């Protein structure tokens, strides 16, 4: 009986810990529907290269290149962990990596944007240069 109880508690703890780090995803349609209205608690974080970012970005977004690993790691330490970050890249792969790293660093509200800027552009949502 004690062994069964220990196994159940262990299973519960493993599940609870893994759910705490579960990755949230959102489509570009969902992101576009969010009213940002100068709400500083919400940040669109574009993790593409500076060159990609300069070619077209979501208005009001911030850029932090995830491929510059050391700089990215150092830079996220300076970000406000209480804000909600909507992380986007070209297609969704780098943003998933960045969002996972941010969650592991203690950020509570990090959402990966699936489809990335390719999906954003395909939906004809606003892009600025």
Please give the positions annotated as active site: 89
CB 110 within 8 A of CB 87: yes
Buried b / exposed e across 79-110, counting CB within 10 Å, b at 16+?
beeebbbbbbbbebebbbbbbebbbeeebebb
What is d(CA 53, CA 83) in angstroms, rounded to the nearest whole number?
A: 22
């Amino acid at each position: 009986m004690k062994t069964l109880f220990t196994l159940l508690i262990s299973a519960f703890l493993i599940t609870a810990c893994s759910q705490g780090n579960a990755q949230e995803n959102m489509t570009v349609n969902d992101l576009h529907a969010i009213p940002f209205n100068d709400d500083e608690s919400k940040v669109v974080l574009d993790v593409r290269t500076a060159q990609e970012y300069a070619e077209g970005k979501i208005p009001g977004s911030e850029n932090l290149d995830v491929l510059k690993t050391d700089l990215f790691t150092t830079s996220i330490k300076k970000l406000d962990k209480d804000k909600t970050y909507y992380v986007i890249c070209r297609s969704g792969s780098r943003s998933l990596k960045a969002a996972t790293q941010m969650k592991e660093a203690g950020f509570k509200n990090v959402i990966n944007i699936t489809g990335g800027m390719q999906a954003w552009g395909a939906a004809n949502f606003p892009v600025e240069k």
